[in-house]
Amino acid sequence: MTIKKNTGYAFLLLAFSANLWAHGDVVPQAVKTEGLEPLGEEWLDENPYRGNARAIEIGSSAYNQNCAACHGLEAKSGGIAPDLRLLEAGISGDEWFKERVINGAVRDGRVYMPKMADYLSQEALWAVRSYLESVAIEE
């Protein structure tokens, strides 16, 4: 009973945040990536900035401005979208991260997660991934 109730609530919140995006109330924030090695247009398969202190710093603010509305402040999910601290470390986590930020999550015409790579540079997104790895927790 309780579980069912919570699930409905999370879904409502989710629909709400996706709506905010769609209506432009939550707008993607430009991310300055000065100090990071430029990567060009083509997406790499592996995070080139892993453990890079500057990337973690940039990624932290980029995350809070562009992902936290759905995934939770400081990457602590409130149950709306997956807790990204649990995303696998290393290259297999990188692959899934890349897939999601490029393609988003769209099913039956519903946007659960926008295609973030349409709004943010590869540099900014790998910086976010570096930040997420710095706060990762074991499941």
- Smallest distance, ligand HEC to C-beta of residue 98, A: 9
Q: Taking contact as CB under 6 A, which single stretch among the options 5-13, 38-46, 47-55, 61-69 is the one that binds ligand HEC?
A: 61-69
Is residue 18 close enough to count as binding ligand HEC by CB under 6 A? yes
Is residue 112 close enough to count as binding ligand HEC by CB under 6 A? yes
Is residue 58 close enough to count as binding ligand HEC by CB under 6 A? no
- Owner of token pair 């990624």: 59
Position 69: which residue type?
A
Q: What residues contact residue 123 under an 8 Å CB cut-off, 6+ apart?
A: 31, 33, 36, 38, 39
Burial of 108 (0-12, 13-18, 19+ CB in 10 A): exposed
- Work out which of 55, 56, 58, 87 binds ligand HEC, going by CB under 6 A: 87
Instruction: Give the span between the Cα atoms of 27 and 95, in whole angstroms.
Output: 26
Is residue 56 close enough to count as binding ligand HEC by CB under 6 A? no
Nearer to ligand HEC, 112 or 136 (CB): 112
